[in-house]
Amino acid sequence: MAAEMAQQPDVLTGLIDRRAEVIEELRGAITPAPVGIVLVARGSSDHAAIYGRYVLEAATGLPVALAAPSLHTLYDIKPRCEGFLAVGVSQSGRTPEIVTVLERLVAGGARAVAMTNEPESPLGHVAGAVISLGAGQERAVPATKTFTAQLVAFAFLAEALGRAAWGSEHWRRLPDAVAQVLDDPEPPVAVAQAIGHAEGLLTVGRGYMYCVALEAALKLKETTSLLSEGYSAADLRHGPFAVVERDFPVLSFSAAGPAARDMLELTQWLRQSRGAHVLRVSEDPGADLPLPRIEAEPLVPIAAVVRAQQVAYRLALYRGMDPDAPEGLTKVTPTK
């Protein structure tokens, strides 16, 4: 896991170097413009798809939905999706459920794009266009470099379909920002020690950072068996905050932008009213897990999730667990 985390700046550089080619291919395959977009994913890829929903809706104004795979594979619905774009997301491209759902959406009239690390996989063969992540083999069970590559791929798709809030200069700087995070290992060590004996944890974000909160919770569960749950800052207020008692750890993800004030108010309230032990991942000075300044808010999650990976890795080691091969987990989950 550590080696694959360290490869992320190079993986992102390779993908960004192909940006113009990927966007041109996508524009050619997605003409005319879709009337809506459906995303198909499970696990970590589902969290990448939630990021995709945000960047795609923001860039295009189109409705973007996450498919419910069970409706297709268990309840045999007949999708009607003429004019829609369906995006299948799977690191391996071999998850039977995701392949089946994408096939059914295509049969229902959708055009398809696949995002996968294996372009010659079954998922790649279903799609009219494939965004190859180019991350190389990923051996550790927890997804790291393939996940950050998926976020970049979704941002490319947003550029191909609409008006993005970032440009070439932002992309050029992104691998260096991720490298800065990786070159700063002490804050994750300190956080792991601070929460080393916790029995539960909440992760929270809003807007573009919501997907990072979800992925952080999954990574912590996978690598450490810590009962961790991810929430939107808005949803946390609707009841889940009741589990927060004095010194209960909350890992907060925020970026400069419209959601920043809400995140600040929430974390202050959790500290003052609930006694929470809030640990902040932010570009702000004094954050427990600092991030380099990234001017384009939608790209901040790509660096922020690396902080989550670091915490999961360090906490696993602190607890005497193997983050590369968590007990009972497999790299490809054959859901149907």
For the residues 155-184, what does the mean pLDDT come to? 97
For the residues 259-264, what does the mean pLDDT come to? 96
| Interacting residues of 15 by C-beta distance below 8 A, sequence separation 6+ | 22, 133, 134, 149, 152, 153
Name the DSSP letter for residue 241. G
| Token representation of residue 79 | 């999708």
Q: Give the side-chain half-sphere CA count within 13 A for 196.
A: 12
What is the helix (H) or strand (E) element at residue 107, kind and residue range?
A: helix 96-107
Q: What is the pTM of this model?
A: 0.96
| Interacting residues of 160 by C-beta distance below 8 A, sequence separation 6+ | 22, 23, 26, 27, 30
**31/161 Cα distance (integer angstroms):** 10
| Residues of each domain in the chain carrying CATH 3.40.50.10490 | 2-164, 172-318
Q: Answer yes or no: is pLDDT of 32 > 70.
A: yes
Decide: 112 and 84 in contact? Cβ < 8 Å.
no
For the residues 299-323, what does the mean pLDDT come to? 97
Decide: 35 and 140 in contact? Cβ < 8 Å.
no
Q: Answer yes or no: is pLDDT of 334 > 80.
A: no
What is the helix (H) or strand (E) element at residue 281, kind and residue range?
A: strand 277-282
Summarised one tens digit per residue, pLDDT across range 217-233 is 999 999 999 999 999 99
- The answer regarding whether domain 2-164 maps to CATH 3.40.630.10 reads no
Describe the strand order of the beta sheet including 64-66 as a list of residue ranges: 64-66, 36-40, 84-89, 111-116, 129-132
Peptide bond into 32 cis (omega under 30): yes
For the residues 25-50, what does the mean pLDDT come to? 97
Q: Answer yes or no: is pLDDT of 332 > 70.
A: no
Q: Answer yes or no: is pLDDT of 333 > 70.
A: no
| Interacting residues of 28 by C-beta distance below 8 A, sequence separation 6+ | 129
Task: Give how far the C-alpha of residue 78 lies from the chain's centroid of Cα atoms, to the nearest Å.
Answer: 29
**287/184 Cα distance (integer angstroms):** 13
Q: Give 172 or 330, the one with higher predicted confidence.
A: 172
Q: Answer yes or no: is pLDDT of 306 > 90.
A: yes
CATH class of 172-318: alpha beta
Confidence of residue 285 (pLDDT cuts 50, 70, 90): confident
